[in-house]
Amino acid sequence: MLERERDECSPTGGGLTVRAFSDDLAEPFYRINAEWIEEMFVLEENDVTLLSNPRELIIDKGGAVLFAETSDLGVVGTCALIKMKDGWFELTKMGVSKAARGRKAGEFLLAATLEHAKAMGVADKLYLLTNAKCAAAIHLYEKLGFQHDAEIMATFGARYERCNVAMSYRG
């Protein structure tokens, strides 16, 4: 499941592979996510708490964190599946470092995360929260099977101040 690779992704080489969370990856998890959030928004208290405690708040509660890695740049992207209430899982903290943009690392990582959610048996209760300013990400989510969902917005949308788009996975 985590053996996913893609070698043709970048003009400079450095094929993509997926890695599962290990404690030595806590720093890139924080750094990559803080980079993209601060580029467009403000880090919220909820962000800092989650990014600072991925083992405790994600992994130990039945979730997962995956990373995209290239041979030339190392870890370049991250995405988490967090167990929420009523059996729902949130796909969150998906980001790609600036150095790797244009290599389709986000699409590769999202596809790998969706495969992982299916293997966990949670794809039918998977949602995400985002902001309309993230148009490229929203397009990618739609391309890979997410649909806008008012019920998800009403149930989970208050989690982040910046959230004004909610989507559920429909495959």
Q: Which domains are delineated in the chain?
A: 5-120 (3.40.630.30)
Q: Tell me which amino acid residue 55 is.
A: R
Q: How far apart are CA 78 and CA 97, in angstroms?
A: 9
- Rg of the chain on CA atoms, in Å: 15
User: 42: helix, coil or strand?
Assistant: coil
From first to last of the 171 residues of the chain, give the pLDDT tens digit: 444 444 333 333 358 999 999 999 999 999 999 999 999 999 999 999 999 999 999 999 999 999 999 999 999 999 999 999 999 999 999 999 999 988 999 999 999 999 999 999 999 999 999 999 999 999 999 999 999 999 999 999 988 889 999 999 998
Q: How far apart are CA 159 and CA 166, in angstroms?
A: 11
Do residues 108 and 68 touch, judged by C-beta distance below 8 A? yes
- pLDDT given at position 102: 86
Return the DSSP state at 12.
Answer: T
Do residues 165 and 132 touch, judged by C-beta distance below 8 A? yes
Q: How far apart are CA 73 and CA 71, in angstroms?
A: 6
- pLDDT given at position 14: 52
Strand order in the sheet with 74-83: 5-6, 16-20, 64-70, 74-83, 89-96, 126-130, 165-169, 146-148
> What six digits make up the tokens of 79?
């995405």
Q: Tell me the pTM.
A: 0.89
- pLDDT given at position 44: 93
